[in-house]
Amino acid sequence: GAGVSQSPSNKVTEKGKDVELRCDPISGHTALYWYRQSLGQGLEFLIYFQGNSAPDKSGLPSDRFSAERTGGSVSTLTIQRTQQEDSAVYLCASSARQGVSIEQYFGPGTRLTVT
Amino acid sequence: DAKTTQPPSMDCAEGRAANLPCNHSTISGNEYVYWYRQIHSQGPQYIIHGLKNNETNEMASLIITEDRKSSTLILPHATLRDTAVYYCIVRALTSGTYKYIFGTGTRLKVLA
């Protein structure tokens, strides 16, 4: 079946502009995660959704970052007033449910470049 | 949170077994060890996971020491397409979320 998809695959934006990144999880997956990967670094957790609610937003780096999920499916990560340090690959993952032994499936990511 | 330590890079000859080590000395009793790999410009790909027994699937084998303080991922016959960054992750329950805490991984280069 179809995997996790993300759009756009690449986004170049000017400093100060707002951007929206989209994630389509695997159909039926109730858990959805956003991560960020800066150049040459490991992944940094941002936020987790269970259904449409976000019980864990602890990884969001500032109040310029927000995310929502609608219909238990598509999620949007919004970055307001982008800064150059926001440049990174933003990865979305989904899993069938929460659980210590449940693997996550990752999308290909959105490469964000803030000029 | 449990942390993992991996060598930054390794080389392996094509057709040979690649053995990738990982230390997780602060792992707690109910935390699983996961392995993912990331091929350039792609999202991480799940490989295998385990708790305390050794595990094998079509991609790899996972050997976990008896004290669970370290593990080894084995790719039995490495191919050029196995060149990637390999992440060893301990699945941590943090703030009610089973999130992954990624380190910087091991960059495996398979040589022809």
pLDDT tens for A13-69 read 999 999 999 999 999 999 999 999 988 778 888 998 988 988 778 889 999 999 999
Backbone dihedral region for residue A39 (phi beyond 0: left; psi -120 to 50: alpha; all else: beta): beta
Find tokens 């986004």 and name the residue: A11
DSSP at A84 = G
Percent of chain B with pLDDT over 70: 93
Question: How confident is the model at residue A34, as a pLDDT?
Answer: 94
For the residues of B4-47, what is the DSSP string, one character each? -B--SEEEEETTSPEEEEEE-TT--TTPPEEEEEE-TTS--EEE
For residue B66, what are the CA distances in angstroms to A6, B15, B70, B78, B89?
Answer: 40, 29, 9, 26, 18
CA neighbor of A82 nearest in space, from A21, A29, A32: A21
For residue A78, what are the CA distances in angstroms to A70, B11, B44, B60?
Answer: 14, 40, 22, 37
For residue A104, what are the CA distances in angstroms to A82, B18, B61, B95?
Answer: 28, 24, 19, 18
Residues of B in contact with A48 (CB under 8 A): 97, 99
pLDDT tens for B8-51 read 999 999 999 999 999 998 888 878 899 999 998 788 999 999 99
Q: Say whether pLDDT at A1 is over 60.
A: no
Inter-chain touch B98–A102, beta carbons under 8 Å: yes
The Cα B8–Cα B50 span in angstroms is 22
Percent of chain A with pLDDT over 90: 67
Residue A107 contacts B where some CB pair is shorter than 8 Å: yes
Average pLDDT (B77-86) is 96
Residue B82 dihedral angles phi and psi, to the nearest 5°: -85, -5
Inter-chain touch B100–A43, beta carbons under 8 Å: yes
How many Å lie between the alpha carbon of A42 and the closest alpha carbon of chain B?
Answer: 5
